[in-house]
A and B are shown apart, each in its own frame.
Chain A
Amino acid sequence: MKRLLGVALGVLTAIGGFLDIGDLVTNAVVGSRFGMSLVWVVVVGVVGICVFAQMSGRVAAVSGRATFEIIRERLGPRTGAANLVASFLINLLTLTAEVGGVALALQLASSVEPRLWMPVAALAVWLVLWRVKFKIMENVTGLVGLCLVGFAVALFLLGPDWGDLLSGALHPTVPATEGHAVYWYYAIALFGAAMTPYEVFFFSSGAVEERWKVKDIAESRLNVLVGFPLGGLLSISIAACATVVLLPRHIEVSALSQIVLPVAQAGGKLLLAVVIVGIVAATFGAALETSLSSGYTLAQYLGWSWGKFRRPAQAARFHLTMIVTLLVGTGILMTGVDPVMVTEYSVVFSAVALPLTYIPILVVANDPEYMGEHVNGRVMNALGTVFLVVILLAALAAIPLMVVTGAGR
Protein backbone atom coordinates (compact mmCIF):
# COMPACT_ATOMS: atom_id res chain seq x y z
CA MET A 1 0.00 0.00 0.00
CA LYS A 2 2.79 2.37 0.96
CA ARG A 3 4.56 1.46 -2.23
CA LEU A 4 1.43 2.24 -4.23
CA LEU A 5 1.18 5.64 -2.57
CA GLY A 6 4.82 6.28 -3.33
CA VAL A 7 4.30 5.44 -6.98
CA ALA A 8 1.16 7.59 -7.16
CA LEU A 9 3.07 10.47 -5.59
CA GLY A 10 5.84 10.08 -8.13
CA VAL A 11 3.44 10.12 -11.06
CA LEU A 12 1.44 13.07 -9.76
CA THR A 13 4.60 15.05 -9.08
CA ALA A 14 5.79 14.31 -12.62
CA ILE A 15 2.53 15.63 -14.09
CA GLY A 16 2.45 18.75 -11.93
CA GLY A 17 6.13 19.43 -12.45
CA PHE A 18 6.02 18.98 -16.20
CA LEU A 19 4.68 22.42 -17.06
CA ASP A 20 6.62 25.62 -16.71
CA ILE A 21 6.23 29.16 -18.00
CA GLY A 22 7.66 28.11 -21.38
CA ASP A 23 4.93 25.49 -21.86
CA LEU A 24 2.20 27.84 -20.65
CA VAL A 25 3.13 30.72 -22.91
CA THR A 26 4.15 28.76 -26.01
CA ASN A 27 1.09 26.49 -26.00
CA ALA A 28 -1.25 29.44 -25.52
CA VAL A 29 0.43 31.49 -28.25
CA VAL A 30 0.30 28.54 -30.62
CA GLY A 31 -3.33 27.77 -29.81
CA SER A 32 -4.37 31.38 -30.36
CA ARG A 33 -2.58 31.74 -33.70
CA PHE A 34 -2.41 28.26 -35.23
CA GLY A 35 -5.30 26.45 -33.59
CA MET A 36 -4.64 22.75 -33.15
CA SER A 37 -2.29 22.44 -36.09
CA LEU A 38 0.85 22.24 -33.93
CA VAL A 39 -0.41 19.70 -31.40
CA TRP A 40 1.66 17.03 -33.13
CA VAL A 41 4.80 18.86 -31.97
CA VAL A 42 3.71 18.46 -28.34
CA VAL A 43 3.33 14.72 -28.90
CA VAL A 44 6.80 14.50 -30.47
CA GLY A 45 8.25 16.63 -27.67
CA VAL A 46 6.69 14.47 -24.95
CA VAL A 47 8.07 11.27 -26.48
CA GLY A 48 11.42 12.99 -26.76
CA ILE A 49 11.56 14.14 -23.15
CA CYS A 50 10.49 10.66 -22.02
CA VAL A 51 13.36 9.08 -23.95
CA PHE A 52 15.81 11.71 -22.76
CA ALA A 53 14.81 11.78 -19.10
CA GLN A 54 14.67 8.02 -18.89
CA MET A 55 18.16 7.68 -20.37
CA SER A 56 19.70 10.33 -18.16
CA GLY A 57 18.02 8.93 -15.05
CA ARG A 58 19.33 5.47 -15.86
CA VAL A 59 22.82 6.82 -16.47
CA ALA A 60 22.77 8.57 -13.10
CA ALA A 61 21.36 5.58 -11.23
CA VAL A 62 23.78 3.05 -12.69
CA SER A 63 26.95 5.10 -12.86
CA GLY A 64 26.27 7.22 -9.77
CA ARG A 65 27.52 10.21 -11.74
CA ALA A 66 25.51 13.20 -12.86
CA THR A 67 25.38 14.75 -16.32
CA PHE A 68 28.11 17.34 -16.28
CA GLU A 69 30.60 15.15 -14.48
CA ILE A 70 30.18 12.68 -17.30
CA ILE A 71 30.32 15.35 -19.98
CA ARG A 72 33.62 16.60 -18.64
CA GLU A 73 35.13 13.13 -18.38
CA ARG A 74 33.83 11.80 -21.65
CA LEU A 75 34.16 14.84 -23.90
CA GLY A 76 37.23 16.40 -22.35
CA PRO A 77 37.56 19.87 -20.87
CA ARG A 78 37.43 21.86 -24.09
CA THR A 79 34.16 20.55 -25.48
CA GLY A 80 32.85 20.32 -21.94
CA ALA A 81 33.64 24.00 -21.39
CA ALA A 82 31.81 25.07 -24.53
CA ASN A 83 28.90 22.90 -23.47
CA LEU A 84 28.99 24.40 -19.98
CA VAL A 85 28.96 28.01 -21.10
CA ALA A 86 26.08 27.50 -23.53
CA SER A 87 24.02 25.41 -21.12
CA PHE A 88 24.67 27.77 -18.23
CA LEU A 89 23.61 30.86 -20.16
CA ILE A 90 20.45 29.30 -21.48
CA ASN A 91 19.67 27.99 -18.03
CA LEU A 92 20.07 31.54 -16.73
CA LEU A 93 17.67 32.80 -19.39
CA THR A 94 15.12 30.15 -18.45
CA LEU A 95 15.54 30.96 -14.75
CA THR A 96 14.86 34.61 -15.49
CA ALA A 97 11.71 33.64 -17.39
CA GLU A 98 10.47 31.43 -14.56
CA VAL A 99 10.98 34.01 -11.81
CA GLY A 100 9.26 36.52 -14.09
CA GLY A 101 6.44 34.01 -14.51
CA VAL A 102 5.96 33.77 -10.74
CA ALA A 103 5.77 37.57 -10.53
CA LEU A 104 3.28 37.77 -13.42
CA ALA A 105 1.05 35.12 -11.87
CA LEU A 106 1.07 36.98 -8.56
CA GLN A 107 0.19 40.16 -10.42
CA LEU A 108 -2.82 38.40 -11.91
CA ALA A 109 -4.15 37.74 -8.44
CA SER A 110 -3.29 41.06 -6.91
CA SER A 111 -2.84 43.62 -9.72
CA VAL A 112 0.33 44.66 -7.91
CA GLU A 113 3.09 45.70 -10.34
CA PRO A 114 5.18 42.59 -11.18
CA ARG A 115 8.46 44.36 -10.53
CA LEU A 116 7.46 44.55 -6.87
CA TRP A 117 6.88 40.81 -6.86
CA MET A 118 10.12 39.83 -8.58
CA PRO A 119 12.51 40.34 -5.65
CA VAL A 120 9.95 38.67 -3.37
CA ALA A 121 9.72 35.69 -5.69
CA ALA A 122 13.49 35.41 -6.01
CA LEU A 123 13.93 35.59 -2.25
CA ALA A 124 11.29 32.92 -1.72
CA VAL A 125 13.01 30.68 -4.26
CA TRP A 126 16.33 31.14 -2.48
CA LEU A 127 14.85 30.43 0.95
CA VAL A 128 13.46 27.13 -0.28
CA LEU A 129 16.81 26.24 -1.85
CA TRP A 130 18.56 27.12 1.39
CA ARG A 131 16.44 25.27 3.87
CA VAL A 132 13.89 22.89 2.38
CA LYS A 133 14.65 19.21 1.82
CA PHE A 134 14.89 18.14 -1.81
CA LYS A 135 12.09 15.60 -1.72
CA ILE A 136 9.68 17.92 0.08
CA MET A 137 10.42 20.72 -2.34
CA GLU A 138 9.75 18.48 -5.33
CA ASN A 139 6.60 16.92 -3.92
CA VAL A 140 4.95 20.16 -2.78
CA THR A 141 5.54 22.11 -5.98
CA GLY A 142 4.60 19.08 -8.07
CA LEU A 143 1.35 18.38 -6.25
CA VAL A 144 0.23 22.01 -6.08
CA GLY A 145 1.20 22.36 -9.74
CA LEU A 146 -1.48 19.75 -10.43
CA CYS A 147 -3.96 22.62 -10.07
CA LEU A 148 -3.13 23.30 -13.71
CA VAL A 149 -5.52 20.45 -14.44
CA GLY A 150 -7.93 23.38 -14.28
CA PHE A 151 -7.11 23.99 -17.94
CA ALA A 152 -8.40 20.53 -18.88
CA VAL A 153 -11.48 21.11 -16.72
CA ALA A 154 -12.02 24.48 -18.40
CA LEU A 155 -11.81 22.86 -21.82
CA PHE A 156 -14.58 20.43 -20.90
CA LEU A 157 -16.72 23.17 -19.42
CA LEU A 158 -16.35 25.26 -22.56
CA GLY A 159 -18.13 22.52 -24.47
CA PRO A 160 -16.15 22.82 -27.69
CA ASP A 161 -16.76 20.98 -30.94
CA TRP A 162 -14.54 17.98 -30.23
CA GLY A 163 -14.70 16.79 -33.80
CA ASP A 164 -13.34 20.12 -35.00
CA LEU A 165 -10.54 20.12 -32.45
CA LEU A 166 -9.59 16.54 -33.23
CA SER A 167 -9.55 17.05 -36.99
CA GLY A 168 -7.51 20.22 -36.55
CA ALA A 169 -4.95 18.23 -34.58
CA LEU A 170 -4.89 15.20 -36.86
CA HIS A 171 -4.81 17.14 -40.12
CA PRO A 172 -2.42 20.00 -39.42
CA THR A 173 -2.46 22.84 -41.92
CA VAL A 174 -0.80 26.20 -41.84
CA PRO A 175 -3.55 28.80 -41.31
CA ALA A 176 -4.11 31.35 -44.06
CA THR A 177 -3.17 34.25 -41.79
CA GLU A 178 0.28 32.86 -40.99
CA GLY A 179 3.28 32.01 -43.13
CA HIS A 180 5.13 28.70 -43.36
CA ALA A 181 8.29 30.08 -41.79
CA VAL A 182 6.39 31.27 -38.72
CA TYR A 183 4.65 27.90 -38.46
CA TRP A 184 7.95 26.02 -38.32
CA TYR A 185 9.46 28.63 -36.02
CA TYR A 186 6.71 27.98 -33.49
CA ALA A 187 7.05 24.24 -34.04
CA ILE A 188 10.66 24.54 -32.89
CA ALA A 189 9.66 26.82 -30.00
CA LEU A 190 7.05 24.30 -28.85
CA PHE A 191 9.59 21.51 -29.16
CA GLY A 192 12.09 23.48 -27.07
CA ALA A 193 9.39 24.20 -24.49
CA ALA A 194 8.65 20.48 -24.11
CA MET A 195 12.26 19.26 -24.14
CA THR A 196 13.88 21.77 -21.80
CA PRO A 197 17.59 21.01 -21.22
CA TYR A 198 17.45 21.97 -17.54
CA GLU A 199 15.03 19.12 -17.01
CA VAL A 200 17.82 16.68 -17.79
CA PHE A 201 20.44 18.30 -15.55
CA PHE A 202 17.87 18.37 -12.80
CA PHE A 203 16.61 14.87 -13.37
CA SER A 204 20.02 13.24 -13.40
CA SER A 205 21.42 15.30 -10.53
CA GLY A 206 18.23 14.66 -8.61
CA ALA A 207 18.82 10.95 -9.12
CA VAL A 208 22.21 11.33 -7.45
CA GLU A 209 20.68 13.58 -4.73
CA GLU A 210 18.14 10.93 -3.90
CA ARG A 211 20.76 8.20 -4.19
CA TRP A 212 18.97 6.17 -6.82
CA LYS A 213 20.20 2.67 -7.36
CA VAL A 214 19.47 0.28 -10.20
CA LYS A 215 16.27 -0.86 -8.51
CA ASP A 216 14.90 2.70 -8.61
CA ILE A 217 15.07 2.77 -12.39
CA ALA A 218 11.79 0.93 -12.80
CA GLU A 219 9.89 3.36 -10.59
CA SER A 220 11.39 6.38 -12.32
CA ARG A 221 10.48 4.85 -15.67
CA LEU A 222 6.88 4.58 -14.52
CA ASN A 223 6.84 8.19 -13.32
CA VAL A 224 8.23 9.36 -16.61
CA LEU A 225 6.13 7.20 -18.92
CA VAL A 226 2.85 7.95 -17.15
CA GLY A 227 3.48 11.42 -15.75
CA PHE A 228 5.03 13.15 -18.72
CA PRO A 229 2.40 12.19 -21.32
CA LEU A 230 -0.34 13.30 -18.91
CA GLY A 231 1.59 16.54 -18.50
CA GLY A 232 1.66 16.73 -22.29
CA LEU A 233 -2.12 16.38 -22.33
CA LEU A 234 -2.29 19.40 -20.03
CA SER A 235 -0.12 21.32 -22.48
CA ILE A 236 -2.50 20.41 -25.28
CA SER A 237 -5.49 21.49 -23.21
CA ILE A 238 -3.88 24.92 -22.71
CA ALA A 239 -3.52 25.21 -26.48
CA ALA A 240 -7.06 23.95 -27.00
CA CYS A 241 -8.52 26.50 -24.57
CA ALA A 242 -6.76 29.24 -26.52
CA THR A 243 -8.05 27.77 -29.79
CA VAL A 244 -11.65 27.68 -28.57
CA VAL A 245 -11.83 31.08 -26.90
CA LEU A 246 -9.04 33.30 -28.20
CA LEU A 247 -8.53 32.27 -31.81
CA PRO A 248 -12.07 33.18 -32.97
CA ARG A 249 -11.66 36.64 -31.41
CA HIS A 250 -8.31 37.18 -33.12
CA ILE A 251 -6.61 37.47 -29.74
CA GLU A 252 -2.95 36.64 -30.29
CA VAL A 253 -1.48 35.79 -26.89
CA SER A 254 1.26 38.08 -25.66
CA ALA A 255 0.56 38.27 -21.92
CA LEU A 256 -0.13 35.82 -19.11
CA SER A 257 -3.50 37.47 -18.44
CA GLN A 258 -4.80 36.39 -21.85
CA ILE A 259 -3.85 32.78 -21.17
CA VAL A 260 -6.23 32.49 -18.21
CA LEU A 261 -9.24 34.23 -19.75
CA PRO A 262 -10.65 30.97 -21.20
CA VAL A 263 -10.48 29.47 -17.69
CA ALA A 264 -12.47 32.37 -16.25
CA GLN A 265 -15.01 32.06 -19.03
CA ALA A 266 -15.42 28.34 -18.39
CA GLY A 267 -15.44 28.13 -14.62
CA GLY A 268 -15.59 31.63 -13.18
CA LYS A 269 -13.54 33.00 -10.31
CA LEU A 270 -13.15 29.67 -8.52
CA LEU A 271 -11.56 27.79 -11.40
CA LEU A 272 -9.48 30.86 -12.20
CA ALA A 273 -8.15 30.96 -8.63
CA VAL A 274 -7.23 27.26 -8.80
CA VAL A 275 -5.40 27.76 -12.08
CA ILE A 276 -3.52 30.81 -10.83
CA VAL A 277 -2.35 28.81 -7.80
CA GLY A 278 -1.23 26.13 -10.22
CA ILE A 279 0.69 28.64 -12.34
CA VAL A 280 2.45 30.04 -9.27
CA ALA A 281 3.39 26.54 -8.12
CA ALA A 282 4.55 25.37 -11.55
CA THR A 283 6.68 28.43 -12.26
CA PHE A 284 8.03 28.47 -8.70
CA GLY A 285 8.96 24.82 -9.01
CA ALA A 286 10.62 25.46 -12.35
CA ALA A 287 12.52 28.42 -10.86
CA LEU A 288 13.82 26.07 -8.15
CA GLU A 289 14.82 23.50 -10.75
CA THR A 290 16.61 25.97 -13.00
CA SER A 291 18.49 27.51 -10.06
CA LEU A 292 19.58 24.08 -8.94
CA SER A 293 20.55 23.23 -12.51
CA SER A 294 22.80 26.26 -12.69
CA GLY A 295 24.50 25.10 -9.51
CA TYR A 296 24.70 21.51 -10.72
CA THR A 297 26.21 22.31 -14.11
CA LEU A 298 28.96 24.58 -12.77
CA ALA A 299 29.80 22.49 -9.72
CA GLN A 300 29.86 19.22 -11.63
CA TYR A 301 32.06 20.59 -14.37
CA LEU A 302 34.56 22.15 -11.98
CA GLY A 303 34.54 19.27 -9.50
CA TRP A 304 33.10 21.20 -6.55
CA SER A 305 31.06 19.55 -3.85
CA TRP A 306 27.39 19.95 -4.61
CA GLY A 307 23.94 18.79 -3.65
CA LYS A 308 21.02 19.77 -1.49
CA PHE A 309 21.66 16.68 0.60
CA ARG A 310 24.75 18.43 1.96
CA ARG A 311 24.52 21.31 4.41
CA PRO A 312 25.25 24.64 2.68
CA ALA A 313 28.54 24.99 4.54
CA GLN A 314 29.72 21.80 2.89
CA ALA A 315 28.72 22.86 -0.62
CA ALA A 316 29.60 26.51 -0.36
CA ARG A 317 30.48 27.31 -3.97
CA PHE A 318 27.41 25.40 -5.18
CA HIS A 319 25.12 27.56 -3.06
CA LEU A 320 27.00 30.71 -3.99
CA THR A 321 26.44 29.91 -7.68
CA MET A 322 22.71 29.63 -7.13
CA ILE A 323 22.60 32.88 -5.17
CA VAL A 324 24.48 34.69 -7.93
CA THR A 325 22.30 33.32 -10.73
CA LEU A 326 19.16 34.32 -8.85
CA LEU A 327 20.56 37.81 -8.35
CA VAL A 328 21.51 38.12 -12.01
CA GLY A 329 18.12 36.84 -13.16
CA THR A 330 16.29 39.23 -10.87
CA GLY A 331 18.51 42.05 -12.05
CA ILE A 332 17.61 41.34 -15.65
CA LEU A 333 13.91 41.32 -14.77
CA MET A 334 14.12 44.59 -12.84
CA THR A 335 15.26 46.38 -16.01
CA GLY A 336 11.62 46.13 -17.05
CA VAL A 337 12.02 43.54 -19.78
CA ASP A 338 8.80 41.64 -20.51
CA PRO A 339 9.01 38.18 -18.91
CA VAL A 340 6.76 36.73 -21.61
CA MET A 341 9.20 37.89 -24.25
CA VAL A 342 12.10 36.41 -22.25
CA THR A 343 10.14 33.15 -22.13
CA GLU A 344 9.60 33.11 -25.89
CA TYR A 345 13.33 33.55 -26.49
CA SER A 346 14.30 31.03 -23.83
CA VAL A 347 12.32 28.19 -25.42
CA VAL A 348 13.88 28.79 -28.84
CA PHE A 349 17.39 28.93 -27.42
CA SER A 350 16.62 25.79 -25.42
CA ALA A 351 15.99 24.07 -28.73
CA VAL A 352 19.34 25.36 -30.02
CA ALA A 353 21.20 24.08 -26.95
CA LEU A 354 19.47 20.72 -26.84
CA PRO A 355 22.10 18.75 -28.84
CA LEU A 356 24.77 19.80 -26.33
CA THR A 357 23.13 17.86 -23.53
CA TYR A 358 21.46 15.16 -25.53
CA ILE A 359 24.45 13.83 -27.45
CA PRO A 360 26.66 13.17 -24.39
CA ILE A 361 23.80 11.36 -22.64
CA LEU A 362 23.17 9.22 -25.70
CA VAL A 363 26.88 8.43 -25.94
CA VAL A 364 27.27 7.55 -22.26
CA ALA A 365 24.06 5.51 -22.19
CA ASN A 366 25.79 3.24 -24.69
CA ASP A 367 29.13 3.11 -22.88
CA PRO A 368 29.63 -0.21 -21.03
CA GLU A 369 32.38 1.32 -18.86
CA TYR A 370 29.78 3.52 -17.16
CA MET A 371 26.66 1.46 -17.66
CA GLY A 372 27.76 -2.12 -17.36
CA GLU A 373 24.92 -4.32 -18.52
CA HIS A 374 22.41 -1.45 -18.48
CA VAL A 375 23.47 0.03 -21.81
CA ASN A 376 20.76 1.09 -24.22
CA GLY A 377 18.79 -1.68 -25.86
CA ARG A 378 18.11 -1.69 -29.57
CA VAL A 379 14.69 -0.06 -29.27
CA MET A 380 16.01 2.73 -27.06
CA ASN A 381 18.90 3.32 -29.44
CA ALA A 382 16.59 3.42 -32.44
CA LEU A 383 14.38 5.96 -30.67
CA GLY A 384 17.44 7.80 -29.43
CA THR A 385 18.87 8.11 -32.93
CA VAL A 386 15.59 9.28 -34.43
CA PHE A 387 15.39 12.00 -31.82
CA LEU A 388 19.01 12.90 -32.35
CA VAL A 389 18.16 13.72 -35.95
CA VAL A 390 15.05 15.70 -34.93
CA ILE A 391 16.98 17.62 -32.28
CA LEU A 392 19.81 18.48 -34.66
CA LEU A 393 17.37 19.66 -37.33
CA ALA A 394 15.50 21.83 -34.83
CA ALA A 395 18.73 23.26 -33.42
CA LEU A 396 20.08 24.15 -36.87
CA ALA A 397 16.85 25.68 -38.13
CA ALA A 398 16.03 27.67 -35.00
CA ILE A 399 18.25 30.73 -35.40
CA PRO A 400 17.74 31.24 -39.16
CA LEU A 401 13.98 30.96 -38.66
CA MET A 402 14.15 33.38 -35.76
CA VAL A 403 15.93 35.90 -37.92
CA VAL A 404 13.70 35.40 -40.97
CA THR A 405 10.44 35.64 -39.04
CA GLY A 406 11.59 38.38 -36.68
CA ALA A 407 11.11 36.04 -33.71
CA GLY A 408 7.67 34.89 -34.75
CA ARG A 409 6.03 38.09 -35.88
Chain B
Amino acid sequence: MTRARGRRGRSLACLVCVTVLVGACAPPGRSSPEVVDDAVTEAIAAAATARLAMELFSSGDLPRETTRTTLAASLEDAHQAALDLGTLEVPGPQDSRTRDEALRAVADATSAIVTSRSAVSSTSDRTVDESTAALAEAIEQLDRVQDEVAP
Protein backbone atom coordinates (compact mmCIF):
# COMPACT_ATOMS: atom_id res chain seq x y z
CA MET B 1 0.00 0.00 0.00
CA THR B 2 2.76 2.42 0.96
CA ARG B 3 4.62 1.53 -2.23
CA ALA B 4 1.65 2.35 -4.49
CA ARG B 5 1.13 5.67 -2.76
CA GLY B 6 4.83 6.52 -3.09
CA ARG B 7 4.65 5.80 -6.80
CA ARG B 8 1.56 7.95 -7.22
CA GLY B 9 3.19 10.77 -5.26
CA ARG B 10 6.21 10.63 -7.55
CA SER B 11 4.03 10.68 -10.69
CA LEU B 12 2.13 13.66 -9.37
CA ALA B 13 5.33 15.51 -8.56
CA CYS B 14 6.61 14.81 -12.09
CA LEU B 15 3.39 16.12 -13.60
CA VAL B 16 3.57 19.31 -11.55
CA CYS B 17 7.20 19.87 -12.51
CA VAL B 18 6.49 19.44 -16.22
CA THR B 19 3.51 21.80 -16.06
CA VAL B 20 5.57 24.46 -14.30
CA LEU B 21 8.40 24.10 -16.81
CA VAL B 22 6.09 24.36 -19.81
CA GLY B 23 4.35 27.34 -18.26
CA ALA B 24 7.68 29.02 -17.57
CA CYS B 25 8.73 28.50 -21.17
CA ALA B 26 5.50 29.88 -22.56
CA PRO B 27 6.15 32.90 -24.76
CA PRO B 28 5.37 36.24 -23.12
CA GLY B 29 2.43 38.11 -24.57
CA ARG B 30 3.52 40.11 -27.60
CA SER B 31 2.93 43.84 -27.62
CA SER B 32 1.07 45.64 -30.39
CA PRO B 33 4.19 47.31 -31.89
CA GLU B 34 5.92 43.90 -32.02
CA VAL B 35 3.05 42.34 -33.94
CA VAL B 36 2.90 45.29 -36.35
CA ASP B 37 6.66 45.14 -36.86
CA ASP B 38 6.53 41.40 -37.62
CA ALA B 39 3.65 41.82 -40.04
CA VAL B 40 5.39 44.68 -41.85
CA THR B 41 8.60 42.61 -42.05
CA GLU B 42 6.64 39.78 -43.61
CA ALA B 43 5.01 42.14 -46.09
CA ILE B 44 8.38 43.65 -47.01
CA ALA B 45 9.74 40.16 -47.64
CA ALA B 46 6.74 39.33 -49.82
CA ALA B 47 6.91 42.54 -51.85
CA ALA B 48 10.70 42.34 -52.22
CA THR B 49 10.44 38.74 -53.41
CA ALA B 50 7.84 39.77 -55.96
CA ARG B 51 10.00 42.66 -57.10
CA LEU B 52 13.09 40.47 -57.51
CA ALA B 53 11.02 37.90 -59.41
CA MET B 54 9.63 40.58 -61.73
CA GLU B 55 13.10 42.00 -62.39
CA LEU B 56 14.43 38.54 -63.22
CA PHE B 57 11.38 37.82 -65.38
CA SER B 58 11.76 40.97 -67.43
CA SER B 59 15.50 40.29 -67.93
CA GLY B 60 14.62 36.81 -69.17
CA ASP B 61 16.37 35.00 -66.29
CA LEU B 62 13.23 33.56 -64.70
CA PRO B 63 10.72 31.49 -66.67
CA ARG B 64 7.06 32.43 -66.59
CA GLU B 65 5.96 29.40 -64.56
CA THR B 66 8.53 29.99 -61.82
CA THR B 67 7.64 33.68 -61.69
CA ARG B 68 3.98 32.83 -61.29
CA THR B 69 4.76 30.36 -58.51
CA THR B 70 6.93 32.93 -56.73
CA LEU B 71 4.27 35.61 -56.98
CA ALA B 72 1.61 33.23 -55.70
CA ALA B 73 3.74 32.51 -52.62
CA SER B 74 4.34 36.26 -52.09
CA LEU B 75 0.64 36.93 -52.28
CA GLU B 76 -0.01 34.35 -49.57
CA ASP B 77 2.58 35.97 -47.30
CA ALA B 78 1.13 39.44 -47.89
CA HIS B 79 -2.35 38.16 -47.06
CA GLN B 80 -1.03 36.60 -43.88
CA ALA B 81 0.54 39.92 -42.88
CA ALA B 82 -2.75 41.71 -43.49
CA LEU B 83 -4.57 39.07 -41.47
CA ASP B 84 -2.17 39.42 -38.54
CA LEU B 85 -2.70 43.18 -38.57
CA GLY B 86 -6.46 42.91 -38.97
CA THR B 87 -6.91 40.56 -36.04
CA LEU B 88 -4.63 42.55 -33.72
CA GLU B 89 -6.22 43.87 -30.54
CA VAL B 90 -4.99 47.46 -30.25
CA PRO B 91 -4.84 48.89 -26.70
CA GLY B 92 -5.10 52.60 -27.62
CA PRO B 93 -5.58 55.24 -30.31
CA GLN B 94 -1.85 55.67 -31.06
CA ASP B 95 -1.44 51.95 -31.66
CA SER B 96 -4.63 52.01 -33.71
CA ARG B 97 -3.21 54.72 -35.98
CA THR B 98 0.04 52.77 -36.44
CA ARG B 99 -1.89 49.62 -37.23
CA ASP B 100 -4.07 51.40 -39.79
CA GLU B 101 -1.03 52.90 -41.50
CA ALA B 102 0.60 49.49 -41.65
CA LEU B 103 -2.58 47.95 -43.04
CA ARG B 104 -2.70 50.56 -45.80
CA ALA B 105 0.93 49.92 -46.75
CA VAL B 106 0.37 46.15 -46.76
CA ALA B 107 -2.78 46.58 -48.87
CA ASP B 108 -0.81 48.61 -51.40
CA ALA B 109 1.86 45.94 -51.52
CA THR B 110 -0.80 43.25 -51.97
CA SER B 111 -2.41 45.06 -54.90
CA ALA B 112 1.03 45.61 -56.46
CA ILE B 113 1.68 41.87 -56.26
CA VAL B 114 -1.71 41.12 -57.81
CA THR B 115 -0.97 43.58 -60.65
CA SER B 116 2.36 41.84 -61.19
CA ARG B 117 0.66 38.47 -61.47
CA SER B 118 -1.58 39.65 -64.28
CA ALA B 119 1.35 41.41 -65.94
CA VAL B 120 3.25 38.13 -66.04
CA SER B 121 0.29 36.29 -67.54
CA SER B 122 -0.18 38.82 -70.35
CA THR B 123 2.63 39.73 -72.68
CA SER B 124 2.78 43.53 -72.48
CA ASP B 125 6.25 44.55 -71.31
CA ARG B 126 5.06 47.95 -70.21
CA THR B 127 2.79 46.48 -67.60
CA VAL B 128 5.69 44.44 -66.24
CA ASP B 129 7.78 47.56 -65.71
CA GLU B 130 4.83 49.43 -64.22
CA SER B 131 4.11 46.68 -61.72
CA THR B 132 7.79 46.43 -60.78
CA ALA B 133 7.76 50.18 -60.09
CA ALA B 134 4.56 49.83 -58.05
CA LEU B 135 6.24 47.10 -55.99
CA ALA B 136 9.26 49.34 -55.38
CA GLU B 137 6.96 52.11 -54.17
CA ALA B 138 5.08 49.74 -51.88
CA ILE B 139 8.37 48.57 -50.36
CA GLU B 140 9.41 52.16 -49.66
CA GLN B 141 6.08 52.82 -47.99
CA LEU B 142 6.43 49.72 -45.83
CA ASP B 143 9.99 50.74 -44.89
CA ARG B 144 8.66 54.12 -43.72
CA VAL B 145 6.01 52.47 -41.57
CA GLN B 146 8.59 50.11 -40.10
CA ASP B 147 10.90 53.00 -39.15
CA GLU B 148 8.04 54.62 -37.26
CA VAL B 149 6.97 51.43 -35.53
CA ALA B 150 10.39 50.15 -34.44
CA PRO B 151 9.70 48.86 -30.88
Q: How close is A175's CB to chain B, nearest CB, in angstroms?
A: 13
Name B27's contact: one of A110, A250, A265, A403 (CB within 8 Å): A403
Contacts known (A250-B44, A409-B38); A260 close to B66, Cβ less than 8 A: yes
- The answer on a CB contact under 8 Å between B70 and A268 is no
Q: Which of B8-16, B52-60, B122-130 contacts A (4 or more CB under 8 A)?
A: B52-60
- The answer on a CB contact under 8 Å between A265 and B69 is no
Interface: A400 (CB within 8 A)? yes
Looking at B27, B45, B72, the one whose CB has the most chain A CB atoms below 10 A away is B45
The count of A-to-B residue pairs whose CB atoms sit within 8 angstroms is 79
Interface: A47 (CB within 8 A)? no
Interface: A251 (CB within 8 A)? yes
Contacts known (A251-B52, A403-B25, A406-B27); A111 close to B65, Cβ less than 8 A: yes
Q: Mark B35-71, 1 if CB is under 8 A from A, else 0.
A: 0001001101100110111001000111111101110
Q: Which residue on A lies nearest to B76, using beta carbons?
A: A255
- The answer on a CB contact under 8 Å between A404 and B70 is no
Name A400's contact: one of B25, B56, B63, B69 (CB within 8 Å): B25
Give the residues in chain B near A406, CB-CB below 8 Å: 27
Q: How large is the interface on B (under 10, 10 to 19, 20 to 34, 35 or more residues)?
A: 20 to 34
Q: Which residue on B lies nearest to A252, using beta carbons?
A: B45
Name A254's contact: one of B56, B65, B66, B77 (CB within 8 Å): B77
Interface: B88 (CB within 8 A)? no
Interface: B26 (CB within 8 A)? yes
Interface: B17 (CB within 8 A)? no
Complex-state Cα separation, A111 to B52, whole angstroms = 18
Interface: B20 (CB within 8 A)? no
- The answer on a CB contact under 8 Å between A258 and B25 is no
Give the residues in chain A near B44, CB-CB below 8 Å: 250
Q: How close is B27's CB to chain A, nearest CB, in angstroms?
A: 6
Contacts known (A251-B48, A272-B63); A111 close to B68, Cβ less than 8 A: yes
Interface: B73 (CB within 8 A)? yes
- The answer on a CB contact under 8 Å between B26 and A254 is no
Which chain A residues in 78-121 approach chain B with CB under 8 Å? 107-111
- The answer on a CB contact under 8 Å between A110 and B49 is no
Looking at B25, B38, B52, B66, the one whose CB has the most chain A CB atoms below 10 A away is B66
Interface: A249 (CB within 8 A)? yes
Name B61's contact: one of A255, A268, A403, A404 (CB within 8 Å): A268
Give the residues in chain B near A390, CB-CB below 8 Å: none
Q: Mark A367-409, 1 if CB is under 8 A from B, else 0.
A: 0000000000000000000000000000000011001111001
- The answer on a CB contact under 8 Å between A269 and B61 is yes
Give the residues in chain A near B73, CB-CB below 8 Å: 254-255, 257-258
Give the residues in chain A near B70, CB-CB below 8 Å: 255, 257-258, 261
Complex-state Cα separation, A245 to B22, whole angstroms = 39
Q: Which residues of A are at the interface with B, using a C-beta cutoff of 8 A?
A: 107-111, 245, 249-252, 254-255, 257-258, 260-261, 264-265, 268-269, 272, 399-400, 403-406, 409
